[in-house]
A and B are shown apart, each in its own frame.
Chain A
Amino acid sequence: MVEFTVWDIVSNLLLAARWTVVLSLIAFLGGGLVGLALLVARTTPSRLLQKAVAGYVQLFQGTPLLMQLFLAYFGLALLGIETSAWTSAAVALTLYSSAFLTEIWHGCVRSVAKGQWEAAQSLALSFVEQLRYVVFPQAARIAVAPTVGFLVQVVKGTALASVIGFVELTKAGTMITNATFKPFLVYSCVALLYFLICYPISLYARSLESRLHAKRS
């Protein structure tokens, strides 16, 4: 029987942790772009668009991420679209992140005083200009900290992608456990690695928060 050293375990986990980071970044950036588009749609005066986006957000907030991953993995296959675990995980996490980011950012936009919109309107700015130059810069300042904080949720959410066979940190942990029969040791290392990824992000979010509250620009 092969003996595994702790370094064997950790080095293999580290290799898998790359994919956790990559998947998180894809989900976060993709979710950010989709979320921004949804935010604009939600901010327009069109009732229909507002309702549609609100429905989208409710759908993703009201169902477990695990189900979303299953649906992306098996559902896309049913539609005849050939999907790898990679694509379905990326798609599901992107949609999930977009829903939450839209909701977070929408709250920030709403916290910008109504008078700001009115002043921009009465200066003849178009709707897009009102958003771009007056409302979003003010909302963004409020949004930075909760947005970075949400990144932590995304990182932890990627663990669920293991159930559809995507080999990231958690899945690698399970595979190594099956080979080593040392679940407590392996999962402790897995948890530690998650913590090492997430903790600096949380710290960064907190420092951003205090900095943006103290400074003007």
Chain B
Amino acid sequence: MPNAPETPAIAIEGLRKSFGPNEVLKGIDLTVRAGEVIAIIGKSGSGKSTLLRCINGLETFEHGALRVQGQPLVYQDPAAMRALRQQVGMIFQSFNLFPHLSVGRNIKLAPGLVKQLSDAQSDETARRLLARVGLAEKFDAYPDQLSGGQQQRVAIARALAMSPSILLCDEITSALDPELVGEVLAVVESLAQEGMTLLMVTHEMNFARKVSDRVIFMHHGLVHEQGAPDDLFARPQTPELKQFLSSLH
């Protein structure tokens, strides 16, 4: 593809967000190309998750602008938010599967309601996506019958069922036992290879280094340093990032 000036997947300018008197995001500028894989790292409380949650409107921000596929985010307009959220899928640390629905119905619910797919269509999609995350046989199981890693893979399938162009991953392996992390990351890696635009807040530095195109280090509510993973991890420029990276070992 030539580098024509195409619409960025996400464009953020001067984003500020406070919780009461505590300003969590202090003016974020960030542009994400379609198909780019971005890992966001930083200490807890640096605003990583809040930034992610602003992108699909789970948090409202006070100042700045945020565009997804060129469309500005308007909280007051439910139709616009609905359109936006079909573009942007999100996966949570705590999975958040619907416990009263079977795995199949967890995945089919939103496509049936929002995209108004027929039952047969959404059934087909759900089975295909479950197979893709390696859980074809769990269609009729309930979330509490699955391991954490399996639940998270179902959550990924559920997000993919809406065919989003952007996927937000909020520390999706942090609640998993170490031996289950790999199976989830493998799915994310395959998505990255297929050209999905991915923004992930993660503590898995090796994974970030291996999969991402760009790593963003957040510190005190700002993008403190960013760059290609090899540069950033091998040659951190700022003392804060140096300290953060050394604290991990």
Q: Looking across the interface, which residue of chain A has its beta carbon closest to that of B56?
A: A122
- Give complex CA distance A116, B98 in Å: 7
- Give complex CA distance A113, B96 in Å: 9
- Given the known interface contacts A115-B92, A116-B96, A123-B109, the answer about A216 and B142 at a Cβ–Cβ threshold of 8 Å is yes
Q: Is the CB of B162 within 8 A of A123?
A: yes
Question: Is the CB of A138 closer than 8 A to any CB of chain B?
Answer: yes
- Give complex CA distance A95, B98 in Å: 33
- Given the known interface contacts A129-B113, A134-B98, the answer about A124 and B162 at a Cβ–Cβ threshold of 8 Å is yes
Question: Is the CB of B16 closer than 8 A to any CB of chain A?
Answer: no
Question: Is the CB of B21 closer than 8 A to any CB of chain A?
Answer: no
What sequence of 0s and 1s flags, for each residue 101-132 of chain A, a beta carbon within 8 Å of any chain B beta carbon?
00000000000010110111111111101000
Cβ-Cβ contact count across A and B, 8 Å cutoff: 67
Interchain nearest-CB distance for A155 vs B (Å): 31
- Given the known interface contacts A116-B98, A118-B58, A216-B144, the answer about A123 and B114 at a Cβ–Cβ threshold of 8 Å is yes
Size bracket, chain A contacts: 20 to 34
Q: How many residues of B contact A (CB 8 A)?
A: 29
Q: Is the CB of A133 within 8 A of B86?
A: no
Question: Is the CB of A206 closer than 8 A to any CB of chain B?
Answer: no
- Give complex CA distance A118, B88 in Å: 13
Question: Is the CB of A178 closer than 8 A to any CB of chain B?
Answer: no
Question: Is the CB of B26 closer than 8 A to any CB of chain A?
Answer: no
Question: Is the CB of A156 closer than 8 A to any CB of chain B?
Answer: no
Q: Is the CB of B100 within 8 A of A138?
A: yes
Question: Is the CB of A210 closer than 8 A to any CB of chain B?
Answer: no
Q: Is the CB of A123 within 8 A of B110?
A: yes
Q: Which B residues between 141 and 184 are near A, CB-CB below 8 angstroms?
A: 142, 144, 155, 158-159, 162
Interchain nearest-CB distance for B159 vs A (Å): 7
- Given the known interface contacts A125-B113, A126-B82, A216-B144, the answer about A119 and B58 at a Cβ–Cβ threshold of 8 Å is no
Q: Is the CB of A121 within 8 A of B109?
A: no
Q: Is the CB of B159 within 8 A of A123?
A: yes
Q: Is the CB of B78 within 8 A of A119?
A: no
Q: List the A side residues contacting B100 at CB < 8 Å.
A: 137-138, 141, 216-217
Q: What are 12 A-B pairs with beta-carbon distances under 8 A?
A: A115-B94, A118-B58, A122-B56, A122-B85, A122-B88, A123-B114, A123-B159, A124-B85, A125-B109, A125-B110, A127-B78, A129-B114
Q: Which 4 A-B pairs have the closest CB atoms?
A: A119-B96, A124-B85, A123-B110, A122-B90
Interface residues of A (CB under 8 A from B): 113, 115-116, 118-127, 129, 133-134, 137-138, 141, 216-217
Interface residues of B (CB under 8 A from A): 56-58, 78, 81-83, 85-86, 88-90, 92, 94, 96-100, 109-110, 113-114, 142, 144, 155, 158-159, 162
